[in-house]
Amino acid sequence: MTDTTIAILTIACCGVGTFLLRYLPLLRSAPKGRRHPAWNGFLQAVGPTAIAALVVVSLWGMVSTQALSPKTLAVAIGVLGTLLAHWLTRKNLVLTVLGGTLAYGVAIAFLRVAG
């Protein structure tokens, strides 16, 4: 396969995946007689799974291979801040994201001043 063919297939797969992520939740809002119980568990898992995948992809380039590099430490503090905010705010998504972002930002600022 050529690079162009691979790029086209990749774009097509991403398009189909995006379509399914947006369309499948609509199936859940179908009338009760047409609902499929097996889909409910799948659809409930798609959102958190997609978010987890985005977090891993976003953080992958920020983590260094060194054990305690400043970048790795800042990412760890940001993740801990997110988890703590999630626990303290009773799973409020906005405050969870804000808490993690603030923890990461403060960690980066402190590490720049200290290092």
Q: What is the distance between the alpha carbons of residues 59 and 102, in angstroms, rounded to a whole number?
A: 16
> How does residue 57 score in pLDDT terms, banded at 50, 70 and 90?
confident
Contact between 99 and 82 (Cβ < 8 Å): yes
Per-residue pLDDT, 64: 63
Rounded percentage of the chain residues whose pLDDT exceeds 70 = 76
> How does residue 19 score in pLDDT terms, banded at 50, 70 and 90?
confident
Statement: residue 106 has pLDDT above 90? yes
Q: How does the average pLDDT of the chain come out, rounded? A: 79
- Considering only CA atoms, which of 25, 50, 53 is closest in space to residue 40? 25
Per-residue pLDDT, 56: 76
- Considering only CA atoms, which of 73, 102, 74, 107 is closest in space to residue 88? 102
Q: What is the mean pLDDT of residues 67-90?
A: 85
> How does residue 37 score in pLDDT terms, banded at 50, 70 and 90?
low
Q: What is the mean pLDDT of residues 4-32?
A: 80
The domain locations on the chain are: 1-46, 61-115
